[in-house]
Amino acid sequence: MNQRLLIVKDFIQNLWVLSIQKKLALLALVLSLGFGSLSQFLFAQAQSDRDKFWRVQDWLINTSSNQSPLPGLFFAILSGIVFLFCIFRLGLFGERFDFTPSAPAVRPPRFGLWLTSLGLSALAAATLTYTGGEQPSGYLSLGLWLLAVILMVISVLIEENWRPPHYQTILNWGKNNWSEILIVGFIVAAAFYLRVTKLEIYPYSFVNDEGEMGKAAWCMLQGNCSDFFRMAWAAQPYMAMLPIALSLKIFGISAFAARFPMAVLGTLAVLNTYLFAREVLDRRIAWIAAALMATLPVLVHFSRLGVDNLVDAFFSSAIIWLLYRGAKHNDRLAYMLAGVIGGLTIYSYPGARLSLALGLGSVIYLCIRTKNYLAAHLPHLIVFVAVLVVTMLPMTAVFIQHPENFAARFKQEGIFSNGIVTNESQQPGQSLATVVIKQIFRSSLVYIASPAEDGFFMGSRAYLTPLAAIFFVLGLAMVTMKIGDPRYMTLFAWFWAAILLGSSLTASPPSNERMMNSMPALAIITALGLAKAAEIFEGLGKFARRASPFLLIIIVLFINYKDYSFYFMEYAQKHSWENSTNELTYESRRLIQPLGSLGRFYLIGDPLVYKIFANFDYFSPDVEKTDFNTVSRETIGALPKDKDALFIAVPYREADLKQVAALVPGGIWTEFLRRYQPDQVLFFSYKISKEQLQGFKPSRTGTGIIP
Query: Is the CB of residue 349 less than 8 Å from the CB of residue 308?
Result: yes
- Helix, strand and coil percent figures for the chain, each rounded to 5: 70, 5, 25
Query: Is the CB of residue 137 less than 8 Å from the CB of residue 123?
Result: no
Establish how many alpha carbons lie within 13 A of residue 221's alpha carbon, considering only the half-sphere containing its beta carbon: 21
Q: Is residue 169 packed enough to be buried (19+ CB in 10 Å), middle (13-18) or exposed (0-12)?
A: exposed
pLDDT at 465: 97
Tell me the residue type at 440. I
CA–chain centroid gap for 601, Å, is 35
Strand, helix or coil for residue 689:
coil
pLDDT at 107: 66
Query: Is the CB of residue 623 less than 8 Å from the CB of residue 617?
Result: no
Distance CA 451, CA 445 (A): 9
Query: Is the CB of residue 102 less than 8 Å from the CB of residue 380?
Result: yes
Query: Is the CB of residue 298 less than 8 Å from the CB of residue 503?
Result: no
Establish how many alpha carbons lie within 13 A of residue 501's alpha carbon, considering only the half-sphere containing its beta carbon: 21
pLDDT at 63: 85
The side-by-side arrangement of strands in the sheet containing 599-604 is 624-627, 599-604, 644-649, 681-688, 668-673
Distance CA 376, CA 108 (A): 17
pLDDT at 9: 55
Query: Is the CB of residue 356 less than 8 Å from the CB of residue 307?
Result: no
Nearest to 253 by CA among 613, 595, 616, 619: 619
Nearest to 384 by CA among 332, 327, 328, 347: 332
39 contacts: CB under 8 Å, gap ≥ 6: 72, 73, 74, 75, 76, 78, 79, 470, 473
| Below-50 pLDDT ranges, the chain | 133, 702-707
Establish how many alpha carbons lie within 13 A of residue 175's alpha carbon, considering only the half-sphere containing its beta carbon: 6
Strand ranges inside 577-661, DSSP E: 599-604, 624-627, 644-649
Strand, helix or coil for residue 659:
helix
CB atoms within 10 A of CB 98: 9
Strand, helix or coil for residue 459:
coil
Could you tell me if residue 330 is left (phi over 0), alpha (psi between -120 and 50 degrees) or otherwise beta? left
- End-to-end, the C-alpha distance of the chain in Å comes to 74
Distance CA 540, CA 22 (A): 7
pLDDT at 397: 92
Distance CA 12, CA 224 (A): 74
Nearest to 315 by CA among 136, 520, 40: 520
Query: Is the CB of residue 526 less than 8 Å from the CB of residue 468?
Result: yes
Q: What does DSSP say about strands 599-604 and 668-673: parallel, antiparallel, or unpaired? A: unpaired
Cut 0.85: pTM above it: yes
Could you tell me if residue 161 is left (phi over 0), alpha (psi between -120 and 50 degrees) or otherwise beta? left
CA–chain centroid gap for 331, Å, is 29
- Over residues 108-138, the pLDDT tens digits come to 777 888 899 999 999 999 888 765 545 556 7
pLDDT at 135: 55
CA–chain centroid gap for 25, Å, is 38
Task: Measure the CA angle with vertex 332, ends 330 and 338; round to 5°.
Answer: 115
Distance CA 395, CA 400 (A): 9
Distance CA 398, CA 382 (A): 24
Domains observed in the chain: 2-90 (no CATH), 111-203+268-573 (no CATH), 580-694 (3.40.190)
Tell me the residue type at 22. K
Q: What does DSSP say about strands 624-627 and 668-673: parallel, antiparallel, or unpaired? A: unpaired
Tell me the residue type at 147. L
- Over residues 676-691, the pLDDT tens digits come to 999 999 999 999 999 9
Strand, helix or coil for residue 515:
coil
Helices and strands: H and E segment counts in the chain: 32, 5
Distance CA 218, CA 210 (A): 12
pLDDT at 38: 96
- Residue ranges of the alpha helices (H) in 197-254? 208-221, 242-251
**Phi, psi dihedral angles at 572 (to 5 degrees):** -70, -40
